[in-house]
Structure 1
Amino acid sequence: MYIFPEPPYFLLVAGLLMGITSGTAFDATLRQAVQAWSKNRSTRTLANLQGFQLFFPFLGICLGVCLFLASGVEVFGFPRVFAYGLAIPLTIGTAWLVWSQLGKILIQLEQGGSKALDLDSIN
């Protein structure tokens, strides 16, 4: 008789909480850096934004999302290898797209100020 393994509910909740807390830290760090930039308009401030200070919470978000996604797939009875084989490439791909888009937005912000990001003015 085959016995199903216990679903990783703890890892599911831990991944969710890890992603939420890291997202909160990412939000606070990004807001603080953009406010500092808006006060002095230094290009160095925005250039330093994509450094370790912002990347560390972003990495926490990615790890939390990967753990949550893999655990969620495992809850439905898929093997652990398949779950992480699916979750890791999806997380890496999405993280790369988000990080590169953030870089492009910061460049737009640096070149044109906050008016460059105003979507209401686009016809």
Structure 2
Amino acid sequence: MYNSADPPLILLVAGLFIGITSCTAFVVTLKQLLKEWSKNRSTRNLANLRGAQVFFPFSGVAVGICIFLASCLQVFAFSEIIAYGFSIPLTVLMAGLVWYQLTRLFNQLEEKGLRGIDLDDLSLGKIIPQQNPRDN
């Protein structure tokens, strides 16, 4: 175990590793489920997008980010209590908002299909460039 005066560099690297590996698993799982959905347009596949198969790697990303953020704060001489007291609520809030946005996107996908997704409604229109329908 490390001394509280020493920064937790092992936890910093471990949090980064957990976040990156969980993110990779999340992206691969999401792509696979969306590919299956695009082939047969089953609502069961969309239900899987909201299930444990996607939520488990997503929560791994959140845990990795929380550990990494708290460890970074400890490197800058914050105590463990302050570092985790800041990191946990921030990570829970961020992960909750991202999950809420994802479920809204999945709902639009289920209701309107791939062409019916309105990125402006999701507040993503300025971030993700869209083709003008008149250009086609």
- The TM-score normalised by the length of structure 2 is 0.83
Relative distance call for 1:60 and 1:4 in structure 2 (3 A) is closer
Aligned partner of residue 78 in structure 2, secondary structure = coil
Q: Please list the CA deviations of residues 12-68 of structure 1 after superposition, one character each: whole Å capped at 9, or x if unmatched.
A: 111011000000000000000000000000112101211111111011101100000
Q: Which residue of 2 aligns with 1:107?
A: 107
> Percent identity, aligned pairs only?
54
**Corresponding residue for 1:82?**
82
Using CA pairs under 8 Å that are at least 6 residues apart, name the structure with larger relative contact order, 1 or 2.
1
| Higher mean C-alpha displacement, 66-75 vs 45-54 | 45-54
Query: After the TM superposition, which parts of structure 1 deviate over 3 Å for at least 4 consecutive aligned residues?
Result: none
Structure 1 residue runs without a partner (length 5+):
none
TM-score by length of 1: 0.91
Q: Which residue of 1 aligns with 2:46?
A: 46
Q: Which residue of structure 2 lines up, in the alignment, with residue 33 of structure 1?
A: 33
Deviates more, 1:93-102 or 1:3-12: 3-12
Gaps of 5+ in 2: 120-129
Structure 2 CA distance, aligned partners of 1:4 and 1:116?
53
How far apart in 2 are the matches of 1:67 and 1:81?
Answer: 13
Aligned length: 121
Richer in helix (by share): 1
